[in-house]
């Protein structure tokens, strides 16, 4: 079928060797937190300047295959009036869109959340396709301690599967993101246990809801000891992560991309390098980072026009380092 072929072509383009997906899909509120790094207020003009700075960076397309946008961004334009989705597509980068509407607490399950956004999704997907998007993303979130309940894992996995099926029906590649949160003091082993269960249940529900796995990408956390615990070595992260994927993730998925999830920029690059060197088969594996790409750029920019070029160079450099890591040829001595 033509729709299937289009989905596969989009997956192939997103999972190109040496390239990653830029997750620029922070909400307007979260964009405000990013802007504070540059010493800027959260205004429409500053959000536009931040996104324009990223998406006009020279040679970004050499290391970035796709960009995930937020609803307000895909409807916005550059300062010259060019829609951001058109700007991205003209550079050979595929525009994508975050379609969930965030997490809300689950009654009777203290501390656990479910992601909302299925209501009206079919119409929104058509709208996003018409605006230029060719892939989508939906995120669920799970803590390691306390462990997520079976009921809430099932609830979120079902939502992810239903979203993925709806996305494919609209001609859009779904990126399914069941994030296991980095925050906390948990051990590497505890993170692996939770990640394995979450991914296994997600994969099972995707198959039950007849999602075409070849036309679907999994966005997952690396298996890490908690951010407040002793940092895991890249080798331990790679070993635990790949063992988890081999146990829990269907081999027929179109690709697997890792989120940075609060890791420091170089930490995320080192961990990707270790995973690549360990061996990525049978999947195509890459990165889909947000903070690990954006924060170094924002610090270099500091909201000053005279720093804009340097800030863009920092962004492109980090994307290139991650691309080298994806191929297993990153050399930290050449990093900034």
- 61 is known as an active-site residue: no
Query: Which of 140, 237, 139 has the alpha carbon at shortest distance from 187?
Result: 237
Q: How is domain 2-334 classified at the CATH fold level?
A: TIM Barrel (3.20.20)
Q: Please list, in sequence order, all residues whose beta carbon lies within 8 angstroms of the beta carbon of residue 169, skipping any fewer than 6 positions away.
A: 122
DSSP alpha helices (H): ranges in 56-187?
A: 71-74, 84-90, 121-130, 150-169
95 vs 26, 119, 134, CA distance in Å? 15, 23, 6
- 98 is known as an active-site residue: no
Per DSSP, the residues of 282-304 read TS-EEE--SHHHHHHHHHHHTT-
pLDDT of residue 1: 59
3-state secondary structure of 141: strand
Q: Please list, in sequence order, all residues whose beta carbon lies within 8 angstroms of the beta carbon of residue 112, skipping any fewer than 6 positions away.
A: 105, 106, 142, 143, 148, 149, 152
pLDDT of residue 279: 84
195 vs 39, 89, 187, 264, CA distance in Å? 36, 34, 12, 21
Q: What Rg do the C-alpha atoms of the chain give, in angstroms?
A: 19
Task: Scan for tokens 């409807």, then name that residue.
Answer: 75
26, 177, 294, 295: the catalytic one is 177
Contact, 116 vs 76, CB < 8 A?
A: no
Taking the CA atoms of residue 265, residue 226, residue 189 and residue 142 in that order, the dihedral angle to the nearest 10 degrees is -100
Q: Where do the structural domains in the chain lie, given as residue ranges?
A: 2-334
Q: Please list, in sequence order, all residues whose beta carbon lies within 8 angstroms of the beta carbon of residue 228, skipping any fewer than 6 positions away.
A: 183, 184, 185
98, 137, 197, 219: the catalytic one is 219
Q: What is the pLDDT along the chain (336 residues), one digit of tens a residue?
A: 577 889 999 999 999 999 999 999 999 899 999 999 999 999 999 999 999 999 999 999 999 999 999 999 999 999 999 999 999 999 999 999 999 999 999 999 999 999 999 999 999 999 999 999 999 999 999 999 999 999 999 999 999 999 999 999 999 999 999 999 999 999 999 999 999 999 999 999 999 999 999 999 999 999 999 999 999 999 999 999 999 999 999 999 999 999 999 999 999 999 999 999 998 789 999 999 999 999 999 999 999 999 999 999 999 999 999 999 999 999 999 897
**Alpha carbons 99 and 131: distance in angstroms, whole number:** 13
Cα dihedral sign, 62-68-70-72: positive
How many residues in total does the chain contain?
336
**Alpha carbons 210 and 93: distance in angstroms, whole number:** 29
3-state secondary structure of 225: coil
DSSP-assigned beta bridge partners for residue 179: 141
């Amino acid at each position: 079928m033509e729709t299937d072929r289009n989905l596969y072509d989009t997956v192939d383009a997103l999972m190109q060797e040496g390239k990653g997906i830029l997750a620029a899909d922070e909400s307007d509120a979260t964009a405000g937190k990013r802007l504070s790094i540059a010493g800027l207020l959260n205004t429409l003009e500053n959000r536009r300047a931040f996104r324009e700075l990223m998406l006009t960076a020279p040679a970004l397309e050499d290391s970035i295959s796709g960009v995930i946008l937020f609803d307000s961004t895909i409807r916005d334009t550059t300062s010259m009036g060019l829609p951001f989705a058109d700007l991205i597509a003209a550079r050979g980068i595929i525009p994508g869109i975050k379609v969930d509407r965030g997490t809300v607490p689950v009654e009777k399950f203290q501390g656990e959340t479910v992601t909302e956004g299925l209501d009206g999704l079919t119409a929104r997907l058509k709208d996003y396709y018409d605006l230029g998007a060719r892939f989508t993303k939906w995120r669920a979130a799970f803590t390691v301690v306390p462990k997520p309940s079976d009921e809430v894992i099932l609830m979120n996995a079902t939502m992810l599967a239903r979203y993925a099926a709806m996305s494919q029906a609209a001609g859009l590649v779904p990126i399914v993101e069941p994030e296991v949160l980095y925050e906390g003091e948990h051990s590497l082993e505890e993170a692996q246990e939770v990640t394995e269960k979450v991914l296994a249940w997600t994969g099972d529900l995707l198959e039950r809801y007849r999602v075409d796995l070849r036309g679907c990408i999994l966005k997952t956390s690396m298996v890490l000891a908690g951010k407040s615990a002793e940092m895991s070595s890249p080798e331990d992260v790679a070993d635990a992560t790949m063992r988890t994927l081999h146990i829990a993730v269907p081999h027929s998925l179109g690709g697997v991309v890792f989120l940075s999830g609060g890791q420091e920029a170089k930490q995320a690059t080192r961990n990707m390098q270790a995973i690549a060197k360990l061996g990525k088969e049978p999947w195509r594996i890459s990165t889909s980072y947000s903070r690990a790409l954006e924060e170094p750029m924002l610090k270099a920019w500091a909201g000053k026009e005279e720093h804009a070029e340097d800030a863009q160079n920092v962004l492109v450099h980090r994307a290139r380092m991650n691309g080298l890591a994806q191929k297993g040829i990153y050399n930290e001595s050449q990093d900034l």
